[in-house]
Amino acid sequence: MTSLAFTTLNLHPDLLSNLDSLQYHQMTEIQAQSLPHILAGKDVIAQGKTGSGKTAAFGLGLLNQLEAKNFNVQALVLCPTRELADQVAEEIRRLARRLQNIKVMTLCGGMPMGVQLSSLQQGAHIIVGTPGRIEEHLRKQTLNLDDLKVFVLDEADRMLDMGFQPALDAIIEFLPTSRQNLLFSATFPTQIEQIATRIMQNPLRIEVESQHDHSSIAQHFYQVDTPEQRLTALRLVLLQTRPQSSVVFCNTKKDAQMVAEALQQAGFSAEALHGDLEQRDRDQTLIQFANKSIAVLVATDVAARGLDIDALDAVINFHLAHDPEIHVHRIGRTGRAGSKGMAVSFISDKESYKVAVLAEYLDQEIIAEPLPPLSLLKQPPLQAEMLTLQIDGGKKDKLRPGDIVGALTADGVLSADQIGKIKVTDIRSYVAVQRPLAKIALKQLGAGKLKGKNFRARLL
């Protein structure tokens, strides 16, 4: 499909000039197919994978019709996880940079209710949140949706997988009947069809192929017969290919935890990411993985939604996904933006039916390769190239990334190219430094001052 320019759309001039400054010139396929209808006020169901540009599609649509002077909630975006909600809110703020005084607020579980209540009292144009917390605010009458114009369900399939159907049903009861509904989903199970029928008016259905060219992803399948062999196979593949950043997918939270612990015991830099973790631990794990302080992330499908990592060297399916669409969604996280990616899947005789369904879906023959040699187990385990320092100060202390770089490079102890990604949150900051220099960096932060103050720092 020929790409179209954003300038062909009937968008607010400030939105267009901001898109230009962000270097967003040509629309992705999902944007080109959905935005004209969204801007015309129609209900839209769009099926597209992560990385297809759907956030900008609904973000521009809802920003285009906001009344800035009306500080009541005019748009509600529901996401399955807090990580994804934060990401969506951040992207909408970027798109709204040139618009005057647009307030985007996140309402998610795992965050103090009191802080959310005081923010809500000051008004917000757009709310991005998770179903459980949004339902709670509506029930307690601390959130009013009388002025709502646009209702967005993002990653709708995952919300249902996570058991949010009752919360969704409850939220829908609070919505004004006259509104625009936008539903985005990577897969399209029957329950989504049922929700669409209930809440949408003559919706337009749009389906786009994954933005990834799967010819850039080398797929490998290995036969494993026992749980122990599966774990050995995982170590062998990691030792043979030595990816700097890889995600290992497990079908259950229990398996994700077990596999991460087994890798740690074998000396690998690995962490688990699943729904049973405390929110703070999940946040820290995602930060460390994004800044290359964790080499292997062992995750469930739900937890990995909202994982925004540009350069993922490998995806390993410890177990095959229950659904071939989810398999394609998993492996589409590697081999992005023209780079080469690798996808490895372990299969057993018990999974022959799943393998047959997947082979038909991929339209290719699946042949198991011999496992890498056991002699690889003598090699040193995979370590992350960076380590993360946590500083007990953030935006509320007026800390900025430049202050942290300045403190670390003072007296020439470290150079700027030995420092990796920096993330400053409200009350904490995280900085990645090259592994051999972590202790020196920690000492440097302890000895110096940031903004004229001493902040406590520790190694994660």
CATH number at residue 58: 3.40.50.300
Query: Could you say which of 378, 403, 420 is where a domain stops?
Result: 378
Do 121 and 12 have their domain in common? yes
Do 276 and 324 have their domain in common? yes
Do 149 and 200 have their domain in common? yes
Query: Could you say which of 207, 225, 260 is where a domain stops?
Result: 207
Joined tokens for residue 104: 């985007």
Neighbours of 17 (CB within 10 A): 13
**Mean of the pLDDT values across residues 389-397?**
87
Helix (H, G, I), strand (E, B) or coil at 234: helix
The CA angle 281-103-43, to the nearest 5 degrees, is 95
Can you say whether the dihedral through the CA atoms of 257, 262, 263, 265 is positive or negative?
A: positive
Do 202 and 78 have their domain in common? yes
Q: What is the pLDDT of residues 128-163, one digit of tens each?
A: 999 999 999 999 999 999 999 999 999 888 888 778
Q: What is the pLDDT of residues 35-62, one digit of tens each?
A: 999 999 999 999 876 566 888 999 999 9
Encode burial over 343-361: b for 16+ CB neighbours within 10 A, e otherwise: bbbbbbeebeebbeebeee
Q: What is the rounded CA–CA span in Å between residue 289 and residue 293?
A: 6
Identify the pLDDT of residue 212.
45
Is 393 among the domain residues? yes
Can you say whether the dihedral through the CA atoms of 87, 92, 98, 99 is positive or negative?
A: negative
Q: What is the pLDDT of residues 71-80, one digit of tens each?
A: 899 999 999 8
Is 1 among the domain residues? no
Is 95 among the domain residues? yes
Residue among 109, 146, 152, 110 nearest 127 (CA): 152
Do 51 and 125 have their domain in common? yes
- How many Cα atoms are found within 13 Å in the side-chain-facing hemisphere of 61? 32
Read off the pLDDT band of 210 (50, 70, 90). Answer: low
* Structural domain boundaries, residue 255: 214-378
Number of structural domains (the chain) is 3
Do 243 and 142 have their domain in common? no
Identify the pLDDT of residue 78.
95
Joined tokens for residue 32: 């080109």
Do 296 and 403 have their domain in common? no
Read off the pLDDT band of 3 (50, 70, 90). Answer: low
Helix (H, G, I), strand (E, B) or coil at 46: strand
Do 348 and 440 have their domain in common? no
Identify the pLDDT of residue 76.
97
Do 198 and 232 have their domain in common? no
Q: Between the CA atoms of 274, 192, 155 and 313, what dihedral angle is there, to the nearest 10 degrees?
A: 70
Read off the pLDDT band of 339 (50, 70, 90). Answer: low
Full-prediction pTM beyond 0.75? no
Neighbours of 374 (CB within 10 A): 10
Can you say whether the dihedral through the CA atoms of 7, 13, 16, 20 is positive or negative?
A: positive
In one-letter notation, the amino acid at residue 288 is: Q
Q: What is the pLDDT of residues 364-379, one digit of tens each?
A: 889 899 999 999 999 9
Helix (H, G, I), strand (E, B) or coil at 308: coil
Q: What is the rounded CA–CA span in Å between residue 221 and residue 380?
A: 24
Contact 108, 82 (CB under 8 A): yes
